[in-house]
Amino acid sequence: MPKYIFVTGGVVSGLGKGIAAAATGALLEAKGISVTIQKLDPYINVDPGTLSPFEHGEVFVTDDGCETDLDLGHYERFTHVRTSVFNNYTTGKIYNNVITKERRGDYLGDTVQVVPHITDAIKEAIRSAATRDYDVIIVEIGGTVGDIESLPFLEAIRQFRYEAGRENVLYMHLTLVPYIKAAGELKSKPTQHSVKELRAIGIQPDILLCRTEMPLSPDVKRKIALHCNIEPDAVIAAIDVETVYEVPLCFKAEGLDKLIEKKFSLNRPEPDLSLWTEVVKRIKEPKFEVTIAIVGKYVGLKDAYKSLTEALLHGGIANNARVNLHWVDAEEIEARGAEVLLSEVDGILVPGGFGSRGIEGKIKAVRYAREKKIPYFGICLGMQTAVIEFSRDVCGLSANSTEFDTGIKEPVIYLMERWYNHRTGKIEERTKDSHMGGTMRLGAYPCVIKEGTRAFNAYGIKEISERHRHRYEFNNKYRELLTKNGLIISGASPDGELVEMVELRNHPWFLGCQFHPEFKSKPIEPHPLFRAFIEAAIRKKELFL
């Protein structure tokens, strides 16, 4: 039977439960312990797929096409976990499952209640994470202790200890120990109240992770331990660090791995954290420095591009470079021009997105990168805008995407009504009643790369699999014209019908991909395209120094 670690949070939101859960997973993996990590979210949406990026940050996509919380990106970046539909459940998803069972008559006329029906469904969801024989399953509970929305999840994990056995369940609570500058003191009272709230619903934490700006002295740890009814060595300082990839090293220094090992009666060797040490060193002591412009429409909330910004950092790690991010609102380019906002950057990246707002600004950014020979990386919508710009300014077409102009004369990007799904082996139909107005291509799909291209040079292999989240596709009606004028189709589906990557001749580095490579990048395994993009930006900067 696997062991379970439940991660809860208190005092305020945004303390970093996702990072704490992911870093704990990384620390355990370094000891040879197999892990998976699950997120239980209290919001009523069935999944975050329909949420605005300004509301909830990015939507992370798994191989099997599940739209999930962004914390699953942390889990995959820190560990070897490959998340799936079983790694993210919301209140909406839980209630939907229960109501479906009730309508089907599965409860045989019982009155359906939060306890036991909802809590049983939550426990069933927790057990579903054990898709194979993991040693430890880490479960992060979204929200903050005291939130009314989180109560069914907390009640479920309270019950879980009695069903799974006390020796198989560990409660880890992330809280805040603020430093009051005027008093010159760390204050433990918020942590005491948070634990009191948790204990009031029947959960006694085994380990406290205390977010703090300052190291916790032995006296402060003893005080927290006394008032929270735990051992002093179970009070872990989760101190602020320069990079989140330093967190596994900090947890090791505080003895977190030993605590977990003792609780679960595991006997494993010392963790090998040499890769994480090297990652942190490269981040803190880079040899090069480049500035990358991200031309987007959600730049007001950086979490909307969380996986993307991390992947750029990983590309820097691979090249021993610091990557400075220059955020540019696409609508500002429409108003002020690309020359004003992009003249000082070493590379330009246009990420994915939905809707027409800011599109012309993105297209101007593409043109600037193409004409000024600045390394360009277009992802999803960023590939589509590159195709539109090339069609207009090089091929002379009156081009656009039908997403932005349904009556456009030359739709180089359009909504395919039917396409072959190489993952399922079935013909997919676009439908009008699905969310956001049409069936999306979600999850991992195969791609065949053309040899001799920049894409092939980056990957080093001919066949790859990458994750998608989009509806509109390259229109093959214009394929011959565009390639004749210098566009290179460097990646396509196995049958050649779906264009996955494009490049340009006579340009230092210009590549667009229909998929989202950022979802598969890790600090210890940087994605090939981000590695190549940052390398090109370094070359560009070195050339003009």
What pLDDT digit, counting tens, does each position of 80-106 carry?
999 999 999 999 999 999 999 999 999
Question: Which one of 228, 248, 278 terminates a domain?
Answer: 278
205 lies in the same domain as 235: yes
Res 431: pLDDT: 45
User: What is the secondary structure of 461-507 as a DSSP string?
Assistant: SSEEEEEEEES-EE-GGGHHHHHHTTEEEEEE-TTS-SEEEEEESSS
Question: Which one of 228, 244, 278 terminates a domain?
Answer: 278
427 lies in the same domain as 509: yes
Token code pair at residue 310: 């991390």
237 lies in the same domain as 335: no
197 lies in the same domain as 311: no
Residue partners of 263: CB distance under 8 A and separation at least 6: 170, 206
- Work out how many domains the chain is built from and give that number: 2
Three-class SS of residue 145?
coil
Side-chain half-sphere exposure of 540, counting CA atoms within 13 A: 24
Average pLDDT over residues 477-496: 96
**Dihedral of alpha carbons 507, 513, 518, 522, sign:** negative
243 lies in the same domain as 345: no
Residue 170 has pLDDT above 60, yes or no: yes
Annotated catalytic residue: which of 76, 246, 466, 518?
518
Token code pair at residue 330: 């696409």
CATH number reported for the structural domain that contains residue 274 in this entry: 3.40.50.300
Is 56 known to be catalytic? no
Res 430: pLDDT: 58
Kindly report, residue by residue over 436-451, the tens digit of the pLDDT. Answer: 434 788 999 999 999 9
Residue partners of 351: CB distance under 8 A and separation at least 6: 294, 295, 296, 305, 308, 379, 380, 381, 382
Average pLDDT over residues 53-65: 86
| Nearest CA among 450, 454, 468, 448 for reference residue 511 | 454
Please state, rounded to an integer, the average pLDDT across all residues of the chain. 93
Is 185 known to be catalytic? no
Question: Which one of 278, 310, 342 terminates a domain?
Answer: 278
Residue type, 421: N
Res 419: pLDDT: 65
CB 237 within 8 A of CB 193: no
Is 516 known to be catalytic? yes
Token code pair at residue 153: 């999840």
| Three-point CA angle 509, 510, 511, nearest 5° | 120
CA dist 310 to 29, 370, 519, Å? Answer: 21, 25, 10
48 lies in the same domain as 137: yes
Return d(Cα 64, Cα 403) in angstroms, integer: 25
Residue 318 has pLDDT above 50, yes or no: yes
| Three-point CA angle 24, 25, 31, nearest 5° | 95
Residue 420 has pLDDT above 80, yes or no: no
Name the least confident of 164-173, 298-307, 511-520.
Answer: 298-307
Kindly report, residue by residue over 307-317, the tens digit of the pLDDT. Answer: 999 999 999 99
Return d(Cα 458, Cα 303) in angstroms, integer: 27
Return d(Cα 106, Cα 90) in angstroms, integer: 21
439 lies in the same domain as 363: yes
Straight-line distance from the first to the last Cα atom of the chain, in angstroms, rounded to the nearest whole number: 59
Average pLDDT over residues 259-269: 92
Report residue 56's pLDDT band, with 50, 70 and 90 as the boundaries.
confident
Res 300: pLDDT: 80
Domain that holds residue 46: 3-278
pTM here?
Answer: 0.93
328 lies in the same domain as 270: no
Annotated catalytic residue: which of 74, 117, 314, 516?
516
Kindly report, residue by residue over 199-246, the tens digit of the pLDDT. Answer: 999 999 999 999 999 999 999 999 999 999 999 999 999 999 999 999
Write the burial class of residue 482 (CB in 10 Å: 0-12 exposed, 13-18 middle, 19+ buried). buried
501 lies in the same domain as 392: yes
Annotated catalytic residue: which of 66, 210, 228, 380?
380
Residue owning tokens 């797929």: 49
Average pLDDT over residues 142-158: 95
Return d(Cα 242, Cα 134) in angstroms, integer: 32
201 lies in the same domain as 161: yes
CATH number reported for the structural domain that contains residue 456 in this entry: 3.40.50.880
298 lies in the same domain as 151: no
DSSP-assigned letter for residue 148: G
398 φ/ψ sector (left φ>0, alpha ψ -120 to 50, else beta)? beta
164 lies in the same domain as 105: yes
